[in-house]
Amino acid sequence: MTKKALIFIRDYTDQGKDRFFLWSENVLKEASAEDISSQTEELVCHDYWLIAPILFRLTGRLPKLITDVEELRISISGKRSEREKKKR
């Protein structure tokens, strides 16, 4: 199964200029929220909690298969303190 890296640049001015990029097969391409939401391949990203609400607001749906590297790191660390730090 093909995996793609999802790179997200947040527009903290809230002017709707958030940008999405997909990295796959050594190619980086800018993608629309609709492109991201319709992906069937696994998307690997960081801080999906920040990305998901924006995608859902723009498209009304979310990609089917996501791996958030930060959540993965926390879940496999075996350290309860890692999860507690994240909740703060």
The owner of tokens 């793609």 is 4
Which residue in 84, 73, 82, 17 sits closest to 44, CA to CA? 73
pTM score, two decimals?
0.79
The rounded distance, in Å, linking the Cα atoms of 80 and 84 is: 6
Which backbone phi and psi does 65 adopt, to 5 degrees? -135, 110
Q: Give yes or no for residue 52 having a pLDDT over 70.
A: yes
Quick one: pLDDT band at residue 14, thresholds 50, 70, 90?
confident
15-41: pLDDT as tens digits: 889 999 999 999 999 999 999 999 999
Residue whose C-alpha is closest to residue 3's, from 60, 55, 72, 74: 72
